[in-house]
Structure 1
Amino acid sequence: MNHPHEVTKGLFPGDIVFDIGAHIGDKAAWFAQRGLEVVCVEPQPEMVKQLTERFQNTPNVSIKGVGLGSKRGLLQMSIASKTPTLSTFAPHWKAGRFVNCEWDSSTNVEIILLDDLVNEFGVPRYCKIDVEGYEREVIKGLSQRIGIISYEFTNEYMDHALDVLQSLIKIGYTKFNLSLGEQDHFYFPRWLTYYELASTLHASRQNVNLWGDVYAN
Structure 2
Amino acid sequence: MISNDLIFDLGFHNGDDTAFYLTKGFRVVAVEANPELFEAGLHRFDSDVRAGRLILLNKAISENTGKVDFFIHATKTEWSSCLLSMAESDGSSATRVTVDSTNLHELILEYGVPHYLKVDLEGCDLFVAKHLSECELKPKFVSFETSKRDYFGIFSYLYVSGYTGFQLINQANNPNRVIPKTATDVKDDNFIFSEFSSGFFGEDLPKDKWLTFEESLTRYIKYKELKQIDNVELGLGWLDVHARMD
TM-score under structure 1 length normalisation: 0.82
Tell whether the 8 Å contact from 1:15 to 1:125 is kept in structure 2 after alignment: yes
Mapped to 2, the partners of 1:22 and 1:94 lie a distance apart of: 17
Matching of residues 74-113 of structure 1 within 5 Å: 74-94=67-87, 96=89, 99-100=90-91, 102-113=92-103
2:172 to 169, 173, 182: 182
Partners in 2 of 1:30 and 1:16 — Cα distance?
13
Pick closer, same or farther for the CA change 1:147–1:121 going to 2, 3 Å: same
Q: How does 1:91-170 map to 2 (within 5 A)?
A: 91-94=84-87, 96=89, 99-100=90-91, 102-142=92-132, 143-144=134-135, 145-154=138-147, 157=148, 159-170=149-160
After superposition, the C-alpha distances for 1:53-77 in whole angstroms (9 at most, x for unaligned) are 2222112111111111222222211
* Secondary structure, aligned partner of 2:21: helix
Alignment of 1:196 onto 2:215: yes
Q: Which amino acid aligns with 2:46?
A: Q
Distance 1:77 1:123 in 2: 26
- Runs (4 or more) in structure 1 with deviation over 6 Å come to none
Deviations 1:59-113 (CA, angstroms, capped at 9, x unpaired): 21111111112222222111124221111112442575xx14x233111122211
Structure 2 regions of 5+ residues with no counterpart?
Answer: 175-199
Q: Percent identity?
A: 26
**CA separation of 1:23/1:85 partners in 2, compared to 1, >3 Å: closer, same or farther?**
same
Give 5+ residue unaligned stretches, structure 1.
Answer: 1-13
Q: Does 1:215 align with 2:242?
A: yes
Q: Which has the larger radius of gyration?
A: 2
| Number of equivalent positions | 199
Q: Which position in structure 1 is the counterpart of 2:59? A: 66
Shift of 1:182: 2.5
